Amino acid sequence: MNKTYLIFKHEFLHTIKRISWIIMTLIVPVLALLGIGIIALVTTLSEPGEKEIKAIGYVDEVGIFNDQTSNGFTKLIPFDSKEDANQALIRMDVSEYIIIPADYTSSGAIHRYTLEEELITSPITVAIIKNFLTGNLLKDKVSPDMVTLIVSPLNVEVTQVTETGDKTLEQNNIANLIIPGIFSLLLGIALMFGATSLISGLGEEKESRLIEVLFSSVSVRQLLISKVLALGAAGLLQVLVWLISAPLLLYLASSTFGGFMSNIQIPGSFLLLGIVYFVLGYLLFAVLSIGVGAISSNATEGGQLSMFYTLASFIPLWFSSLFIAFPNSSIWVVLTIFPITAPVQTMLRLGASDIPLWQIMSSIGVLVLSIMGGLYLSIKIFRMNMLMHGKRPGFIEIFHSLKNA
């Protein structure tokens, strides 16, 4: 049987049996399900039941707030005095009460009393009170429809059109950034775990001299190419698990949260490019990790050296708020083409806007060339330094490795 395949199989199984890989793969759907469940539970517990009507007491010292006291879910009950309202609150006849002072029309201030410990007034309560006050203030001046419009005057619907004026197939939506954003973050974390896993494996083989036994059976090229491919395959399996679970999670999320979650669209190109960049990202980091593994004196030092490129891969996420504000800046183009940041940056951009084909082709081209060039150099460095452990070669020795191997 082909030795490259045998090592690939061994390394692949070794990688996917690692606790860190299993946790990383399963934690995404599990945490997402858990998150959806917790939010659904909190929402259910916080919301009044279907037939339960929330009662809010009020004391009207102005004398004009006697209409719009019920909206189907909430009933506003008038009291003559603060003392009466307070007694009702203590008896739990009302969940809270408000005082509309005599100078309200000039000050705009009201006082709210509740038995609950709250950091801020719930936005739902604020909306109920606001609607009640606005409706009563305008009741004899404008039509009920106008009142509704005044309460909620703006609902912007943006439609992206092509240069010919046709509606584009996929519409921009801030919610569309959620999936690519999460995916980018996961990609960055997965690459970090992958790099650490490879370096630690190589470190173990070097320190135990098992690497010598392996090289007495196979060539440096066979061993390293197998390791790189195995890590890439493990990355592909990981992203497939995530992508398969994504539609289910999205369905659950939209049925739980509704609203903007229902509007999330995963661009078709995102799925395909997601897989491509995930695998290329894994391969690039595997190649870099082999180079680092070759020059590291032990696994710990290798892990520290790998932080340079694993942290660099997170640069697009560090500046994601800038990216949302200025999505067309040329800096994002640079980060899309720079191989270390390309996977994460491209995933992020795919959620926000279309990326010109030339940029995607350049990005993939540079990544592929980097992987091939990196593999060539890493094999050279590894060949010269594979027998070293406990001592890290200096720059001159690394240079000689590249020159002489």
Partner 1 sequence: MKAVEVHHLFKSYAGKTAVKDLSFSVNPGEILGLIGPNGAGKSSTIKIILDFMKPDSGDVKIFGHQMNEGCKNQIGYLPEERGLYKKLTAIDLIVYLATLKGMDKVSAEKKANVLLEQTGMLENRKTKNKNMSKGMGQIIQFIVTIIHDPKLIILDEPFSGLDPLNTEIIKNIIGKLRDEGKAIILSTHQMNKVEELCDRVLMINKGQAVLYGDLKETRARFSKNSVQVNVVEEFGDLPGVIDKKFNKDSIELVLAPDTTPQIILDQIRDRGLTINRFEITTPSLNEIFLNIAGGNHE
Give the shortest CB-191-to-partner 1 separation in angstroms.
23
Give the shortest CB-263-to-partner 1 separation in angstroms.
47
> Tokens at residue 349, please?
């951009």
> Tokens at residue 75, please?
């009933």
> Tokens at residue 330, please?
């040329």
Give the shortest CB-182-to-partner 1 separation in angstroms.
32
Closer residue to partner 1, CB minimum distance, 197 or 313: 197
Give the type of residue at 4: T
- The DSSP output letter for 241 is H
Alpha helices of 114-177 — where are they, by DSSP H?
Answer: 123-138, 144-151
Give the shortest CB-209-to-partner 1 separation in angstroms.
4
SS3 204: helix
Backbone angles phi, psi at 230, to 5 degrees: -65, -40
CA torsion through residues 113, 116, 120, 124, sign: negative
Q: Provide the residue count of the chain.
A: 405
- Give the contacts of 262 (CB within 8 A, at least 6 positions apart): 254
Binding residues (CB under 8 A) for partner 1: these are 1, 3, 6-7, 10, 14, 17, 204-205, 207-210, 212-219, 386-387
Closer residue to partner 1, CB minimum distance, 113 or 215: 215
Measured from the Cβ of residue 24, the count of other Cβ atoms closer than 10 Å reads 19
CB contact at 8 A, 235 and 278: yes
> Tokens at residue 293, please?
């593994």
> Tokens at residue 197, please?
């896993």
CB contact at 8 A, 70 and 76: yes
Closer residue to partner 1, CB minimum distance, 330 or 404: 404
Closer residue to partner 1, CB minimum distance, 10 or 130: 10
- Adjacent-strand bridge partners of 100: 60
Name the percent of the chain in helix, strand, coil, to the closest 5: 65, 5, 25
CB contact at 8 A, 16 and 234: yes
Give the shortest CB-215-to-partner 1 separation in angstroms.
6
Closer residue to partner 1, CB minimum distance, 59 or 398: 398
Give the type of residue at 55: A
Give the burial class of 238: count Cβ atoms within 10 A of its Cβ; 0-12 exposed, 13-18 middle, 19 or more buried. buried
Give the shortest CB-232-to-partner 1 separation in angstroms.
21
Give the shortest CB-400-to-partner 1 separation in angstroms.
10
Closer residue to partner 1, CB minimum distance, 14 or 54: 14
Closer residue to partner 1, CB minimum distance, 17 or 91: 17
Give the shortest CB-14-to-partner 1 separation in angstroms.
8
Taking CA 168 as the corner, what is the angle to CA 166 and CA 174, rounded to the nearest 5 degrees? Answer: 140
Closer residue to partner 1, CB minimum distance, 60 or 205: 205
Closer residue to partner 1, CB minimum distance, 47 or 212: 212
User: Cα 21 to the chain's mean position, in Å?
Assistant: 19
Give the shortest CB-347-to-partner 1 separation in angstroms.
33
Q: Are strands 74-79 and 96-100 parallel, antiparallel or unpaired?
A: unpaired
Closer residue to partner 1, CB minimum distance, 200 or 378: 200
